[in-house]
Structure 1
């Protein structure tokens, strides 16, 4: 009588013999509890690690499936071969391992098609796993997957691989499986096929023991390294000593670079091994290393590099970032000309990177503390009278020479389009400017004092620094803003510069003059402007009583019509008026100065009076018009040379 898989019961398979202990119709099989299986799974994972335990259980399940498929082949007279295949799913239910419910059954033996999906409910394997471990990040029913693949492969006649795509052991509501032939899976199953390769449990245990011994040795050496590195930090020896300890321990070269890929410490021969020089000089790196470094450069300095030309100098290296408060402050690399860079180097490098981060944070904190103290003293110096002041004395004690001439620079940061989201972003840009100014001064072996507000930076710049640049102070300021432009984008900078202070008592007045220059630069509404306080002339007095925007409105009220006419018709009425007043209203002198005929000058003056209603015969009017013209000149609305008297 033919049999269907769905009709099989446990009674159909049982034949018990008291003497021989045979079970399942003379095939020697045993019944085991789920608890015992759970203990085995736990011990395998603890001894081998979950990845190796997974492969062992998969292969064990596979062999069980193959064996039971062979037993079932002749145990019943199957209605057809498909029923023999389906009996494996029924065996899951009968044995108590899991309740299997298929939702897709595309099994065509003659065509070689096997494509099934379904659910496993109440998996013993997932239940036992969760008794000893927390949810895993991937499915854990390894025996069930292996069994299904082994059984179906033997009964179907082609290699079938099952995958668990959902699992209670990783937090899903139910386990879910997919089974296909290797051909149907294609490349998707390539990684799983490796898990079915034959390995001996003894070899697994031996490798596990060796791995444990290796880890014990690594931990011992790591402890020694940690003690040495801690002592270096406590003794304040710095990054060079840290690089030396790591290099000596690993017998290799060590390179430390800042976030701009500039070398800050090293041990051994590291010449030409910086990340920047490797890319620029085409040193030997693998494609993966080239890609990694290229991504690093694009992230930190937005520079493109050619990755296709071969690099002639081979070496092995491992590089990881030094991170402080989720921000990269540098990179540490171990470099080997011989041998491989392995797990030991990676573990020690990560440990050392953490120590470097701690050391750099200490140095950064110390520098910030010093800068903050110097900044507070500078603010006192600029905003208060300095005679016998505490700030001046303290700065002299700290080694700063206040007796030399200085300029007061005030940088204002503006975000006209409101592109930066928060105050922290502006603060970060401001800190970048401060670091650049300090570095720029140190290159010239000069010291500058700096302080900051949210949107402002105050700098006391020695005249000697400007002289070393061999250019006027305004040109130096313009060049400085041009260099800072890339650093502060999308912010805009305006810079106010005072007259040179020959004496410390002039600093407070110079500071106020620079603030006035900043206000004028703001009104000009041009990007990255530099304004000297000396350019304000007598308007500096008015700026104490009026805001620059009020001065502009005052000037436009008198000269607005002439300004608009000049802009529209490219006439020179404002320049004519300016030269006429500065030549003491002398018609002939002004005509000669401007190369205009006398009749031409009379016509211009007449048109000026018609357009604006200005009567320059009145002394009060002349003064107001001269003042308005000076305002336009300072604000940059008109540009022409003043007459030398």
Structure 2
């Protein structure tokens, strides 16, 4: 009598014998608990690793499925071949492995079409996995995949592969499977990856032994490399030696870059590799590689990029950041032409990154100690009006000759009230400015003394550097600002510059000048980001002697009511007064300059006199008004004038 798959029951499968329990007629079977299977899965995973345990369970499931298909073929008289195929679903359900519910079943034995999809509910395999391990990154019902592939391949007569696309073992709501012939899968699945019947299950133990031997060799090589790299640091050698040692060990090109992605040193065949070029042109990278770059910078992860531009010889650089005190100070790149990552490469490059971090930390500590000492001396020079002559002598021993013309530069970061919220960015910007100045110092062979004082950078810039570059102090400040903006586009840097200080005794006065220039720039909210004290004009004499707030208060007492009246009534009385004084109180000359009639000019002066009690015929009043106008000019409160126009 013909049988349908969904009509099979446990009674059809079991047969009890007085001498031997039998299952599936003459094929002896035994019943095992799900927990026992869970223990097996745990032990396989811990012993072989998840990938090899996966292969083991896939092949074991495949063999089980193949065997049960062969037994069921002769055990029942099937209504048709399709029912024999669908009996695999019934076997899943009756055995307690899972409740298999197909949602699509395109099975045509004549045309060779096999395309099914459905859910495995209450998968014993996924539940047992979660009893011993956390969520995995991929589905974990390996036995069920293998069983379905083996059973259907045997019963259908063509190679069928089942893949789980959702799984509760990786945090999904259900276990969702898809089964298709190898032809329908196409490029999604390689033949080698699903050739479960080719290898013997016992090969896994041989592989595990070889893996242990390989790990032992990697550990040995890793220890040798670590010792070599450590000796480089202990002997005081630099990053070049580290790159050479790592390159020889891995037999590939090595590039070490700084935190701004600029190449510091390289070894071997690196062709035209530049991490900075990659960063500057990251829009040309694939979306997946752009995401990797973000992970490397933001999460300090080791990454491997895919193929870059076709003309590049390096195709798959492996890059890891060099992290010092939780901040990235550089990057190591392994330059290779193969996408395959050898097992030892990530381990070795990360060890090398740690050694580089140790080297940079040592250098950073030495440099910070040296610069802190120099910075303390510079602060003493700038802050004290009466200097101890021994300071200049001590600095001369370090190569700083201060009895020649210098400019005092103060680099102040804006939004000081947000500094505590952006401490990491603030530190980065201050370090960047200091490094730019030191780089200029080395290039020009002129000593630049730099200090960090209360959230700002202070520096003595020798006039000789500006002369050799053929630029002014303002142009030099603008060049530094442009370089900072290129690295940190959000920078809101202000630079105050003193007049030229001829010797060490003028530096305290120059410091006050640069500071005053910054104060005026911040109070007036000037768009000009590099401010020279000399640009403040005659008012700079008063600014150097008094607090800016006091000066503004004085000007408001003299001209404040007129200023407010102009704003409310949209008049130009303040402008009239300014140009009247600027034209030496010449009525006709001022009228012509402002395109007014003589009568109109007289009316305005009369209005000023009567409404605001300002008598321009009184010489004392004229001096007060002139001073108040100059203060307003310096503070940017005369919209019709700029400081440059006054100069």
Q: Quote the RMSD (CA, aligned, Å).
A: 4.9
- The aligned counterpart of 1:304 is none
- The aligned counterpart of 2:410 is 410
1:65 Cα deviation after fit = 1.9
1:559 Cα deviation after fit = 6.4
Contact 2:520 2:548 in 1 (8 A): no
Provide the secondary structure at the position in 2 that maps to 1:237.
coil
1:435 Cα deviation after fit = 2.5
- The aligned counterpart of 1:634 is 634
1:91 Cα deviation after fit = 2.8
CA offsets 1:479-508 (integer angstroms, 9 cap, x no match): 444544444543433332223333434333
- The aligned counterpart of 1:63 is 63
- The aligned counterpart of 1:258 is 258
Contact 2:408 2:460 in 1 (8 A): yes
1:227 Cα deviation after fit = 0.8
Change (3 A) 1:99 1:471: closer
Distance 1:354 1:512 in 2: 45
Change (3 A) 1:289 1:29: same
Contact 2:62 2:197 in 1 (8 A): no
Distance 2:316 2:5 in 1: 60
- The aligned counterpart of 1:303 is none
Distance 1:420 1:288 in 2: 35
CA offsets 1:450-484 (integer angstroms, 9 cap, x no match): 33356533223233333333344344434444544
Matches within 5 A, 1:483-562: 483-534=483-534, 535=537, 536-540=539-543, 543-544=546-547, 546-547=549-550, 549-550=552-553, 553-554=556-557, 556-557=559-560, 560=563
CA offsets 1:117-139 (integer angstroms, 9 cap, x no match): 3444362x456656765654433
Distance 1:411 1:496 in 2: 7
Contact 1:566 1:573 in 2 (8 A): no
Matches within 5 A, 1:59-98: 59-78=59-78, 84-95=84-95, 97-98=96-97
- The aligned counterpart of 1:121 is 122
Change (3 A) 1:579 1:31: closer
Provide the secondary structure at the position in 2 that maps to 1:447.
coil
Distance 2:487 2:24 in 1: 83
Contact 2:562 2:573 in 1 (8 A): no
CA offsets 1:576-627 (integer angstroms, 9 cap, x no match): 423344xxx6x59x95xx9979x99976863551352243321211111221
Distance 1:185 1:547 in 2: 84
Matches within 5 A, 1:243-254: 243-254=243-254
Contact 2:160 2:181 in 1 (8 A): yes
Distance 1:470 1:135 in 2: 65
Residues 600-609 or 47-56, more deviating: 600-609
Matched positions, count = 621
Question: What are the ranges of 5 or more consecutive residues in structure 2 without an aligned counterpart?
Answer: 298-306
- The aligned counterpart of 2:304 is none
Is 1:353 aligned to residue 353 of structure 2? Answer: yes
Contact 1:452 1:458 in 2 (8 A): yes
Contact 2:232 2:241 in 1 (8 A): yes
- The aligned counterpart of 2:214 is 214
Is 1:612 aligned to residue 608 of structure 2? Answer: yes
Distance 1:471 1:433 in 2: 19
- The aligned counterpart of 2:580 is 577
Matches within 5 A, 1:14-53: 14-15=14-15, 23-24=22-23, 27-31=26-30, 33-34=32-33, 41=41, 44-45=44-45, 48-53=48-53
- The aligned counterpart of 1:379 is 379
Change (3 A) 1:437 1:568: farther
Contact 2:559 2:625 in 1 (8 A): no
- The aligned counterpart of 1:363 is 363
TM-score, scaled relative to structure 2:
0.78
Matches within 5 A, 1:393-404: 395-396=395-396, 398-404=398-404
Distance 1:106 1:269 in 2: 55
Provide the secondary structure at the position in 1 that maps to 2:22.
coil
Provide the secondary structure at the position in 2 that maps to 1:23.
strand
Distance 1:15 1:90 in 2: 18
CA offsets 1:247-298 (integer angstroms, 9 cap, x no match): 3333444332223333322334667544457999x9xxxx989995998699
1:438 Cα deviation after fit = 2.8
Is 1:102 aligned to residue 105 of structure 2? Answer: no
- The aligned counterpart of 1:195 is 194
1:61 Cα deviation after fit = 1.9
Matches within 5 A, 1:154-553: 154-155=154-155, 160-164=160-164, 167=167, 169=169, 176-182=175-181, 186=185, 190=189, 194-201=193-200, 203-268=203-268, 272-275=272-275, 310-311=310-311, 318-325=318-325, 327-335=327-335, 342-388=342-388, 395-396=395-396, 398-415=398-415, 422-453=422-453, 455-534=455-534, 535=537, 536-540=539-543, 543-544=546-547, 546-547=549-550, 549-550=552-553, 553=556
1:217 Cα deviation after fit = 1.8
Provide the secondary structure at the position in 2 that maps to 1:260.
coil
Provide the secondary structure at the position in 2 that maps to 1:147.
helix
1:43 Cα deviation after fit = 5.8
Residues 312-321 or 207-216, more deviating: 312-321
